[in-house]
């Protein structure tokens, strides 16, 4: 419920949860009418533009979940994301496309230290291409134990692998 509350609004539609019908193993949610983002005719320029706008909304929403709220829909594949038409902000606007999220069976909580580490990693890679600095953050990101990073040979191997990846 916490994940769905945080997603609603801003061009995102989240189905209502029917708590009376849910159990520990079954989540019952409202039906959303929509279309898969992969179901568009390549010759339909307007449909492609709508889908691209919805995908861009999905990217913004995922980054917000990951970096702002720390509660993340952890299974955002084409079967769990829909283009849903909903009423625009003004009645004259008519229906506008929005991103519909389905299936909240996998939701992750990202700790603040990991969110901070991700921001630092991206900054090091984008602005400085500093793989050594990113490798040093792998403990904060909960990707490797600190004792691995404290081993100079292991750290050097990680940095080389990351450098190879960056130049591939």
Please list the alpha-helical segments (H only) found in the chain: 2-7, 45-63, 112-123, 131-136, 146-150, 152-167
- For 43, the token pair is 């010759």
Residue among 75, 103, 116, 130 flagged as catalytic:
75
Question: If 0-12 CB within 10 Å is exposed, 13-18 middle and 19+ buried, where does residue 72 land?
Answer: buried
Chain-centroid distance, C-alpha 144: 22
CA distance 153 to 148: 9
- Residue 75 annotated to the active site: yes
Question: Using only C-alpha atoms, what is the Rg of the chain?
Answer: 20
2 has which bridge partners? none
Antiparallel, parallel or unpaired: β 95-101 and 12-13: parallel
Positions annotated as catalytic residues are 75
């Amino acid at each position: 419920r916490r994940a769905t509350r945080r997603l609603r609004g801003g061009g995102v539609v989240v189905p209502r949860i029917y708590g009376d019908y849910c159990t520990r193993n079954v989540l019952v949610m409202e039906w959303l009418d929509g279309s898969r983002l992969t179901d568009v005719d390549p010759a339909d320029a307007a449909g492609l533009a709508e889908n691209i706008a919805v995908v861009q909304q999905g990217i913004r929403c995922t980054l917000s979940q990951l970096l702002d709220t720390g509660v993340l829909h952890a299974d955002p594949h084409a079967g769990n994301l829909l283009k849903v038409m909903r009423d625009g902000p003004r009645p004259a606007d008519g229906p506008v496309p929005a991103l519909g999220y389905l299936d909240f069976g996998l939701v992750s909580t990202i700790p603040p230290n990991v969110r901070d580490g991700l921001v630092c990693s991206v900054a090091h890679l984008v602005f400085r291409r500093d793989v050594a600095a990113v490798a040093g953050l792998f403990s904060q990101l909960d990707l490797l134990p600190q004792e691995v990073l404290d081993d100079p040979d292991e750290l050097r191997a990680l940095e080389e692998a990351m450098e190879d990846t960056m130049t591939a």
